[in-house]
C-alpha cells in the first residue's frame, strides 16, 4: 500500500511536470486578436493548458503550474515586456484558473436528484455527465469575467508603475480596448478548453 501511494504521487508529479512543459512551449505562441491600435495586446494559448490543469488537478495546483511555467519563461527567455508582462500574465491567468477551477471542483461532483421511472440509472448517469459539462462551461465563463474585472485595477496600478504611462491614459484604454480584449480572450479560451478537456482528461486522469 505505501508503494502504491508513492507511485500515485510520483505519477501525479510527472503529469504536472508535463503540463508545465506544455505551458512553457505554448508561451512562445502569441498573436494579436484585435486590429490596430490594439494589436499590441497578444492572445497567448498558454492559458489553455493552465485552465485544463486547473480542472484536472484543482485550482491551486493549476495556478502553481501556470506560475512556474510563466516564471521559467520570463527568466530564461528575455521577453520585450520584461517583468511587467510576467506580472500581468500571472494576475490574469491566476484569477482565471483559481476561480474557474474552484467552481468546477465544487460543483462537478455535486449530487443532483433525478429519477426516471423507465431507466433511472442510465438516465441519471447521462444527466450527471451533462451537468458536469454545464458546470465546466459556467466555471470558464465566470472565471473569465472575473479575470476581465481584475485586470482593470491591475492595469491602473501596474501599467503606470512599470511602463510610466499616465493613469488617465490607461483609463481611456479600459472600455474601448482592454475590456473587449479580455472578453474576447475569455471567449476563445472557453471555447477551446471546453472542446479539448473532454478529450484530454481521460489521459490526465488515467492510472
CATH code for the domain in which residue 128 is found: 1.10.1760.20
Mapped onto helix, strand or coil, the DSSP state of residue 46 is coil
**What is the model's pTM?**
0.86
Q: What is the pLDDT of residues 50-66, one digit of tens each?
A: 999 999 999 999 999 99
In the chain, the percentage of residues whose pLDDT exceeds 90 is 60
Query: Which carries the bigger pLDDT value, residue 169 or residue 133?
Result: 169
Q: Which domain holds residue 176?
A: 2-205
Q: What is the pLDDT of residues 103-142, one digit of tens each?
A: 999 887 665 444 455 555 555 554 455 567 888 899 999 9
* pLDDT reported for residue 80: 65
* pLDDT reported for residue 114: 47
Q: DSSP H helical segments within 32-119, as ranges? A: 47-57, 59-76, 82-107
* pLDDT reported for residue 16: 94
Assign residue 29 a region: left if phi > 0, alpha if psi is -120 to 50, beta otherwise?
beta
Q: What's the total number of domains in the chain?
A: 1
Q: What is the pLDDT of residues 139-153, one digit of tens each?
A: 999 999 999 999 999
* pLDDT reported for residue 145: 97
* pLDDT reported for residue 73: 92
Mean pLDDT, the chain, whole residue set: 86
| Burial environment of residue 175 by CB neighbours within 10 A (0 to 12, 13 to 18, 19 or more) | exposed
The answer, yes or no, to whether residue 94 has pLDDT greater than 90, is yes
Amino acid at each position: 500500500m505505501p508503494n502504491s501511494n508513492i507511485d500515485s504521487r510520483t505519477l501525479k508529479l510527472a503529469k504536472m511536470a508535463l503540463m508545465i512543459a506544455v505551458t512553457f512551449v505554448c508561451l512562445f505562441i502569441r498573436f494579436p486578436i484585435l486590429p490596430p491600435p490594439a494589436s499590441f495586446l497578444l492572445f497567448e494559448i498558454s492559458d489553455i493548458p493552465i485552465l485544463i490543469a486547473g480542472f484536472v488537478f484543482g485550482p491551486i495546483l493549476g495556478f502553481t503550474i501556470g506560475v512556474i511555467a510563466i516564471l521559467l519563461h520570463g527568466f530564461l527567455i528575455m521577453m520585450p515586456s520584461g517583468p511587467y508582462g510576467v506580472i500581468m500574465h500571472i494576475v490574469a491567468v491566476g484569477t482565471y484558473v483559481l476561480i474557474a477551477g474552484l467552481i468546477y471542483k465544487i460543483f462537478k461532483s455535486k449530487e443532483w436528484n433525478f429519477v426516471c421511472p423507465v431507466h433511472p440509472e442510465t438516465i441519471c448517469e447521462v444527466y450527471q455527465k451533462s451537468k458536469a459539462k454545464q458546470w465546466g462551461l459556467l466555471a470558464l465563463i465566470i472565471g473569465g469575467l472575473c479575470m476581465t474585472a481584475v485586470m482593470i485595477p491591475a492595469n491602473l496600478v501596474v501599467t503606470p508603475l512599470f511602463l510610466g504611462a499616465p493613469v488617465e491614459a490607461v483609463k481611456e484604454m479600459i472600455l474601448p480596448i482592454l475590456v473587449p480584449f479580455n472578453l474576447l480572450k475569455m471567449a476563445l479560451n472557453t471555447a477551446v478548453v471546453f472542446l479539448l478537456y473532454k478529450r484530454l482528461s481521460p489521459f490526465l486522469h488515467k492510472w
